[in-house]
Amino acid sequence: MKRRQIQISWAELGITVTVDLDGRNAALTQALWEALPYRSIQGHALIAGHHLYHLAPAPELLHAPATYRVDDRRDAPDGTIFCSRLQHLGIKYGPLSEPMPATPIGRVLPQDLAALAEAGRAVWQAVYASDRPVTVEVRRAGGRGGHALPRLPAHDPAVAELVREVHAETESIWLRPPGELVDLHARRIASGAGSYGTVLTTLLFVNGETRPLGYNCFGNLVRAAAEGMPMDSLRRMARLLAATPAQFLGYCGLLTLRDLTERALDCTDRIDRHEDFVALMAHMALYVNCLGAWNLQLFPWDVGDHLRQEAA
Question: Stretch 249-253: mean pLDDT, rounded?
Answer: 98
User: Which pLDDT does position 88 carry in this prediction?
Assistant: 97
Question: Stretch 162-173: mean pLDDT, rounded?
Answer: 98
Share of the chain above pLDDT 70, in %: 99
Q: Pick the last residue of a domain from 111, 140, 169.
A: 140
pLDDT digits (tens, 9 = 90+) for 253-294: 999 999 999 999 999 999 999 999 999 999 999 999 999 999
For residue 33, is it within any domain? yes
For residue 310, is it within any domain? no
Contacts of 9 (CB under 8 A, 6+ apart): 15, 16, 17, 136, 137, 138, 139, 145
* pLDDT averaged over every residue in the chain: 96
Q: Give the DSSP letter string of 27-40.
A: HHHHHHHHH-SEEE
- Contact present, 285 and 87 (Cβ < 8 Å): yes
CA dist 38 and 150 (Å) reads 10
pLDDT > 90? residue 47: yes
For residue 75, is it within any domain? yes
DSSP secondary-structure letter at 77? Answer: P
Are 14 and 130 members of one domain?
yes
Domain hosting 193: range is: 157-301
Are 55 and 111 members of one domain?
yes
pLDDT > 80? residue 309: yes
CA dist 229 and 222 (Å) reads 10
Are 198 and 292 members of one domain?
yes
For residue 181, is it within any domain? yes
User: Which pLDDT does position 304 carry in this prediction?
Assistant: 87
pTM score, whole prediction: 0.96
For residue 244, is it within any domain? yes
Distance of CA 100 to the CA centre of its chain: 18
For residue 312, is it within any domain? no
User: Which pLDDT does position 188 carry in this prediction?
Assistant: 96
131 pLDDT tier (thresholds 50, 70, 90)? confident
Burial class from Cβ neighbours inside 10 Å (0-12, 13-18, 19+) for residue 151 reads middle
pLDDT digits (tens, 9 = 90+) for 102-113: 999 999 999 999
> For 202-216, 229-243, 296-310, which range has the lowest pLDDT when averaged over its residues?
296-310
Are 193 and 83 members of one domain?
no
Q: Is the dihedral of CA 296, 300, 305, 306 positive or negative?
A: negative
For residue 223, is it within any domain? yes
163 pLDDT tier (thresholds 50, 70, 90)? very high
Largest Cα separation within the chain, whole Å, is: 64
User: Which pLDDT does position 2 carry in this prediction?
Assistant: 64
pLDDT > 60? residue 1: no
For residue 152, is it within any domain? no
In the chain, what are the helix, strand and coil shares in percent, each to the nearest 5? 50, 15, 30
Q: Give the DSSP letter string of 225-273.
A: HHTT--HHHHHHHHHHHHHHHHHHHHHHT-HHHHHHHHHHHHHHTT---
Question: Stretch 298-306: mean pLDDT, rounded?
Answer: 92
How many domains does the chain fold into? 2
